[in-house]
Structure 1
């Protein structure tokens, strides 16, 4: 007998299972589709620019074309700053697979010394605009170029670029006036126009290079090239040529600059020479100098530390930032102030017993000649540099009128048009002392100002500019370093110049000039030694500036002092008197008396500018020997 089946097919249950499985399958398919569509949307929409750029970069690349920096010439067309071809190593971080491995390989290939490795790595990580090359190393030699080329397949994003590099053929004597270019740093990168400076690695850092950066730099261009998978350029698809920078012609004369540097003969100091009628700076030297070419590609740490720690401060521009008491060089200016304010007349005389005393004050303010000069009028006071006359004059003028009249000559102010980094130095006043020290002004301080000591400080450029204004009979022309930018000459009368100094009696100029001429040509002149054989009329004034103050009864003895505590030697001059063509200011630090150690340098500068070579038979060695 057949057994009955207990289990029958359950269609309803099977249908339910089928539906559940179908829904699950649909859900999985829809989820995967949604994920795929989302990913496609993300890649096609959100990251379209990125992948479009990457795709295009596999075939087309846009390369910046840096402009050629303008050249710099002296007034005679002699080259002062040029561009020489060189090879730079650059890196585009966005094209590098592994930055650390790439840098390690480069250090090995280039055989960099340990002290340069850190700087090399810092430059590689310095902030750059996307897809802009970072400058890793400049001025590669042939061996380094060859090693990078052989291993180029291992160095994606690394390129060796042929570019022009700044070079200064007269680096040491022109370092302070010209300045130098250097690598663009992170702070500069934030402010520079990305289009104009595309592909540019250098920018003016100091001096003329910095002041005229906009004119010298030019405008970057670009080119579009097709490349293969390895990045090799196949053809050029388009180009926008760069616009080169303007050439710059300076007022400086290379021969005058060289002469001034040679005359200082390794001593600390400065010489500035101007053309009074135009304000053109003929020479502006600060000594010692330094090799500015070291800073173009990046000076090494040891060399930079050596310059910083040098006691002679070669990096310090004394011509525009050195602060010196002007000493007796300011006596002609004070004499004019006395005439303007009606305190003196040209013929009024005093009796000098060798000292001056304030009313009701026992202290004696001594003349440099301890037994005095006897009867002294204005012209003789300049010729013999009588201190007593100017103690009396300063007391009668008072600090307020002193400050007003000396400010009219540019003391205590920036005087030049295009001298980057110029200091104001200090023309003291009653208000200045109150703000600086919260103290009143004392009469004895006025006397110190009257002989160019105390708080009063000038720069060599200020002293030369004031001398030029004096030579111009009060006509004020701003000193400038640029004669011509491109094809455009700078105007003689520049904006923001000080007002001209006008005298009630024009004859007063001649009387002051007469006193200055007697300094170099008179029987009693403090610098009469330089008047021997003079072929033109010259006016000058010596100065000796104390580095520290002496007590009332102390006498100065240079032999007993450390060299850096000795007096500074100063001299200012212009010539010829009847038609001034040159104004000079000389400062030699810790050299001693200005009439002995600075006057002959000023004479050499005026001779070089005014005389033909065959008329000027003294060489530098002979001039320096005359000092001894």
Structure 2
């Protein structure tokens, strides 16, 4: 009989103790893990609440920039020169269109959009998010807008969008002073980033590229606004949470008179040249026109390659060049200043005479420097030298002065330096000096170089703006005014309580669309440079009297004027003639013909206007015959010699109406932006 197996007796007490120990250890582990879990929850929910709440909001809430309206620009009489005009564009949200290709083709047939444009649009659509609006076609005509509006129900997802774009009502008449705006390019973006201004232009597409639009960009642009919106995980806007309106740019009032601009354009019709008119009492530029010009509106939306090549074509006479700040040989227009230098240096007096046989010759040289009058003027004193523009007199004067003394005096009148005008296209020109010639040509200065400088030729170029400034200083007897365009800035602000405004502000307070707004205007003040002090103040009058005689006796264009003008003619030679060669304009290539120059101011006793004129490559006559009549027309307009162009406000009742209409239009646009 087999032995029986032993049966182990369970120790229930030991098992209970083991289970209890394991349970305790598990409990401790769970407790520790729970403590860690709740500690982390506490850290996330309490200690790090702000951090993660901000990160959460950044994923849920987005700030969208809102572009401000660009400030408007007016002339001195309130005529609008730079406006913001609504432009309509066709846009589409691809996700709302079942068949984008077919729909685009139908819309293109309706609006007459080319196949090439359609292909480009399809590529652009594929590269962008489907739920965001995409611009298909900009600058729709009124007819295209009407056609689409009538048929819009056929094209779900397509819509017309309107935004303000810069518009220049006077087109080419103001381009070289106002400049223009254009699309922000890569170069602009880099510059804005370096200047920490990129955020301010987040919603802006255009920026000032030239002229006053560029110089006063910081005033015209305005302050960006923001729209706080809630978005979903796909980036689509769900709702608007908050809105901070942008602040429109400041409006600018310029010293330019658009009527003078019109006269300048008419006077230069068919000619290449420039006109600058300024007020010597303040430095305000009344007119600046360069002919030919071009329409700045071409650049606002992005100029086509065809139009740009047309502007670059030499056959079109370089319209992109601002001839108002381009260097020209000054010719005889600077003879009064050279005469003043001679008087100041004691080289000549009013009665000093030089004999003019028709030529001047340096000792030891065979070359003869000819006078414009081959027979010569005989014995010539200061008055006759300026009045008759005697070259030989000024050859002798320059020879006695030497180049250093001439340069020192001409520097005081602003030659060879920037005028300080508020456009960045200003030009220094070339002031003749020993150092300038050595630096530019690596050649020494010769005595003959000084002789040419004596009649405003040789190594000397000035801009019409510099000439206007120099003659302004002369007419002011040494007082120096900085040329400038800007007269005043103004901006609209909302006011909750009109009673809180000052009495002066109340006069400019109005109510538009149930909103109280206030126009704040700030006049711009400019500091003058230190005046030119002469050793003998009588020398001013000696030179000015001679210029007065010149305009009254020798410039036929000013005969019969009702105002008392003074001036000086100039004829700039562009090519060197052989010793005995006679100048024949008809036998000379057009671009090598002489330039006509003229400067004038009036009234003689208390000058109100200075005009500088340059006319390129004239066929017949000199400065008096070609540039003088241009200056006369400008002054006739300014002083109102003709009834039809009188400056008397009673004869121009439209002025006040236009001003009020433009200001009201400006108010409405700015208030709408706010």
Give the 3 Å change call, closer, same or farther, for CA 470–222 of structure 1 in structure 2. Answer: same
Tell me the secondary structure at the aligned position of residue 402 of structure 2: helix
Superposition pairs for residues 81-160 of structure 1, below 5 Å?
81-88=82-89, 109-110=107-108, 112-113=113-114, 138-141=138-141, 142=145, 153=157
- Measured in 2, the distance between the counterparts of 1:124 and 1:259 equals 50
| Number of equivalences | 546
- Matching residue of 1:292: 296
Deviations 1:321-354 (CA, angstroms, capped at 9, x unpaired): x221111011001000111111111111111111
Contact 1:418 1:481 in 2 (8 A): yes
Separation in 2 of the partners of 1:245 and 1:561? 52
- Residue 229 of structure 1 and its aligned partner are, at CA, apart by 10
Pick one of 504, 522, 527 that aligns with 1:488.
522
Offset of residue 492 of structure 1 = 3.7
Instruction: Please report how far the alpha carbon of residue 578 of structure 1 lies from its aligned counterpart in structure 2 after TM superposition.
Output: 0.5
Q: Spell out, residue by residue over 1:209-233, the C-alpha distance to the aligned partner (whole angstroms, 9 max, x if none).
A: 0000000000111213457999997
Instruction: Spell out, residue by residue over 1:117-146, the C-alpha distance to the aligned partner (whole angstroms, 9 max, x if none).
Output: 8997999999x9xx9999775423425688
Partner of 1:623: none
Q: For the residues of structure 2 that align with 1:370 and 1:530, how far apart are their CA atoms?
A: 24
Matched, 1:266 2:297: no
Q: 1: distance between equivalents of 2:468 and 2:436? A: 24
1:31-89 CA distance string (max 9 Å, x none): xxxxxxxxxxxxxxxxx999968963xxx664321101000000011100011112346
Alignment of 1:561-600 (within 5 A): 561-591=588-618, 592-600=621-629
Q: Is 1:402 aligned to residue 431 of structure 2?
A: no
Partner in structure 2 of residue 181 of structure 1: 181
Q: Assess, with a 3 A threshold, how the Cα gap between structure 1 residues 532 and 249 changes in structure 2: closer, same or farther.
A: same
Give matches, 1:175-324, under 5 Å. 175-192=175-192, 193-225=197-229, 235-311=239-315, 312-320=317-325, 322-324=326-328
Deviation for aligned residue 1:170: 0.3
Does 2:637 correspond to 1:604?
no
- For the pair 1:517 / 2:548, whether they are aligned, the reply is yes
Q: Distance in 1 between matches of 2:437 and 2:123?
A: 47
Comparing 605-614 and 259-268, the one that deviates more: 605-614
2:163 maps to what in 1? 163
Once residues 235 and 478 of structure 1 are traced to their aligned partners in structure 2, the CA distance between those partners, rounded to angstroms, is 53
- Supply the distance in 1 between the matched residues of 2:152 and 2:206 (Cα, whole angstroms): 23
1:355-380 deviation line (CA, Å, top 9, x unaligned): 11112222110110011001110111
Give the aligned partner of residue 468 of structure 2. 464
CA contact (8 A) 1:124 1:135 kept: no
Is residue 626 of structure 2 the alignment partner of residue 614 of structure 1? Answer: no
Q: How much has 1:609 moved relative to structure 2? A: 1.1
Alignment partners' CA distance in 2, 1:249 and 1:493: 19
**Structure 2 unaligned spans of 5+:** 1-51, 491-520, 647-674
Which segment drifts farther, 283-292 or 357-366? 357-366
Residues 104 and 379 of structure 1: CA distance in aligned 2, closer, same or farther (over 3 Å):
farther
Q: Quick one: which of 317, 336, 339 aligns to 2:340?
A: 336
Contact 1:116/1:300 (8 A) holds in 2: no
Give the TM-score taking structure 2 as reference length. 0.75
* Structure 1 position 201, deviation (Å): 0.5
Contact preservation (8 Å) 1:132, 1:199: no
Q: CA RMSD in A?
A: 3.3
How far apart in 1 are the matches of 2:412 and 2:169?
39
Is the 8 Å Cα contact of residues 212 and 423 (structure 2) preserved in structure 1?
Answer: yes
Cα distance in 1 between the residues matched to 2:483 and 2:369: 36
**Conservation of the 8 A alpha-carbon contact between 1:133 and 1:199:** no
Distance 1:314 1:278 in 2: 30
1:454-480 CA-partner distances (Å, limit 9, x unpaired): 110011111111111111101111100
In the alignment, structure 1 segments of 5+ residues that lack a partner are 1-47, 618-628
Secondary structure at 1:294 match in 2:
helix
Structure 1 residue 546: Cα displacement: 1.0
**In the alignment, which residue of structure 2 is the partner of 1:504?**
535
* CA apart distance, 1:190: 2.5
Secondary structure, aligned partner of 1:558:
coil
Residue 313 of structure 1 aligns to a residue in which SS? Answer: coil
SS in 2 for 1:560: coil
TM-score for the superposition, normalised by structure 1: 0.80
Q: Kindly indicate whether the alpha-carbon contact (under 8 Å) linking 2:562 and 2:641 is maintained by their aligned counterparts in 1.
A: no
The verdict on how the C-alpha distance between 1:607 and 1:240 changes in structure 2, with shifts beyond 3 A counting, is same
